Chains A and B, each alone.
Chain A
Amino acid sequence: MTEKNAAIEKEKAPKVAVPKRTFTVELLVGVFTLLGVLAAGYQAVGLAGMSIGPSNEYLVKAEFDNISGLKTGASVEIAGVPIGKVVEISLKDPQAITVLQIDNDIKLYDDDIAAVRTKGIIGDRYVKISRGASDTVVEPGGILFETESVVDIEDIIGKLVHSFGDDDEEQTIEGLD
């Protein structure tokens, strides 16, 4: 009986559509799944603005009188090209302290000016770096001393003061004298 059964089983066995289970196929599936998960994870981390692995950036501090509207994650730019971002904002009463994360291949010098400016019409704030003439590099962890705060509309009037081509304005003033 049992022998018969076994024989039947034996006959039946090939008919059941069991694929040939091989080690390589399973391994491949596993590897692909794992790769998929890792890729999704990497994307997620990237989207969240974090980074994995050895750092390609360094940090410098900059103090401002007023950074109204500047948020962490805002970009740091030279000539409109992003070279880093704002990673931390804190208050050291009465000043605002920002920590900027700068790409390793960009060096900052001690007379570079960091200014909080407005991008486009919507008015995203970003940090604009204008280059100076110094040869003294700001080391990682160092402080960028030359900063310029958010400019209010009223302050723009002040800008005329140092302006180059305001002859008409000057005449008004002479006239008042």
Chain B
Amino acid sequence: MMTRTHTALLFGAALAVTIPVSPLLGGASPVYAEESAMAEKASPRMEMQKTLDSLVEVVTNHPGAENRSVRQEKMRSIIEPKFDFEEMAKRSIGVKWKSLSEGERTEFVDLFSELLARTYLGRLEKVEKDMVEIRSETLRAPRALVRTVVSYEGDTFPLDYKLLQGEGGWRVYDVIIENIGLISNYRSEFAGIIRKDEFSGLLEKLREKNAQAAAKEAVNSSPG
């Protein structure tokens, strides 16, 4: 039971990575242009629904292990424009951000985005139609909160997204599962690592984690 709930939660976290349509997926470009113009006015809730729909589409159109890389590539291109990885990284590392150089910031943001993508992309593949129900949205420019409920293997749990409105439209900067915020959690974890091993130790740990995830992925995608 514990493991099942856990799986469900992990899956939910994967859905963290969810919002509008990317040019790569949009098909004909005139259609995309139109959609993008609409997206400017679209509410975060509508954008979220669109992203979910396109993710479901990708998953249903590219099933099976043999399509794994194509599928993941497409999912990544849907998700990436909708997440503000720099904001997430900045908020996660907290005060330390202010004392980092431009180069260190870039390196950290890259490693952190990679970690998030690797951690959650795999879970996202399990998305199905009607699995995620958008319950409400609260707008307080430039912020928005979209509440959803995810049903997975008989369990349901709340999954909320916090978004910021920027030049690229609404982008997610925090995901909250059952009252636990992703940023808040990483913030305390990173602070602990920095206190012990300095910033370089944190980078090292992120690299290590990414390498492990990559190795695992390689094992999973190899036949047998």
Which residues of A are interface residues toward B (Cβ below 8 A)?
Answer: 65-66, 111, 113, 115, 130-133, 145-146, 148-152, 154-164, 167, 169-170, 172-174, 176
User: How long is the Cα–Cα vector from A37 to B143 in the complex, in angstroms?
Assistant: 53
Determine if B220 is an interface residue (Cβ-Cβ < 8 Å).
yes
25 A-B pairs, CB-CB below 8 angstroms?
A65-B179, A115-B184, A130-B94, A132-B94, A133-B95, A133-B97, A146-B183, A151-B179, A152-B178, A155-B180, A158-B180, A159-B180, A160-B6, A161-B9, A161-B10, A161-B12, A161-B177, A161-B180, A162-B180, A163-B185, A169-B6, A173-B7, A173-B10, A174-B220, A176-B7
Name B residues whose Cβ lies closer than 8 Å to a Cβ of A.
Answer: 2-3, 5-7, 9-10, 12-13, 90-91, 93-98, 140, 143, 157, 174, 176-189, 191, 205, 209, 212, 216, 220
CB of A157 within 8 A of CB of B5, answer yes
Q: Known: A148-B181, A154-B178, A159-B185. Is A174-B216 also a contact (CB below 8 A)?
A: yes
Q: Are A164 and B205 in contact (CB under 8 A)?
A: yes
Q: Out of B3, B90, B143, which one reaches A145, CB within 8 Å?
A: B143
Interface pair B9/A164, CB less than 8 Å apart:
no
- Would you list the 9 A-B pairs with minimal beta carbon distance, nearest first? A133-B97, A158-B178, A155-B178, A162-B185, A158-B177, A161-B13, A149-B179, A158-B180, A131-B95
Docked complex Cα distance between A43 and B3 (Å): 56
Query: Is there an interface contact between A133 and B179, defined as CB atoms closer than 8 Å?
Result: no
State whether A173 touches B6 (Cβ < 8 A).
yes
Cβ of B188 and Cβ of A130 under 8 Å apart? yes
Contact A164 B209 (CB under 8 A): yes
